[in-house]
Amino acid sequence: MRIYHNPACGTSRTVLGLIRAAGVEPEIVEYLKTPPDRAELTGLLARLGLTPREILRRKGTTLETLGLDEAAMTDAAILDALLAHPILMERPIVVTAQGAAVCRPADLVAPLLASETAP
């Protein structure tokens, strides 16, 4: 199990706590310190079944706060913005062998934990 984590985010800390409480020690990727490259991010999007636009944060640092007009941007341009400014990525994202999810709200991690801890 891997979590794309921001320790400054309450929801991300909650999800990490839920994972550990289930007896799993995930690989922690502090994506602000070690951002994904293009191949990793596009692979992550494919696992999630989402577009770059669908993993944009809607609170805090957004494209608008960076002076970018989201409505006018293509998915390719948003992907470039995510690569240049990883803070734009919604968090936390949890990846397991069985699936992946943006775990906001935190209880969205439950199905991933169930598949990871099932006998």
Whole-number Å distance between alpha carbons of 16 and 69:
33
By the 10 Å C-beta count (0-12 exposed, 13-18 middle, 19+ buried), 80 is classed as: middle
Whole-number Å distance between alpha carbons of 98 and 77:
30
Given the residues 1, 3, 9, 100, the one annotated as active site: 9
Residue 103: active-site member: no
Q: Name the residues annotated as catalytic.
A: 9
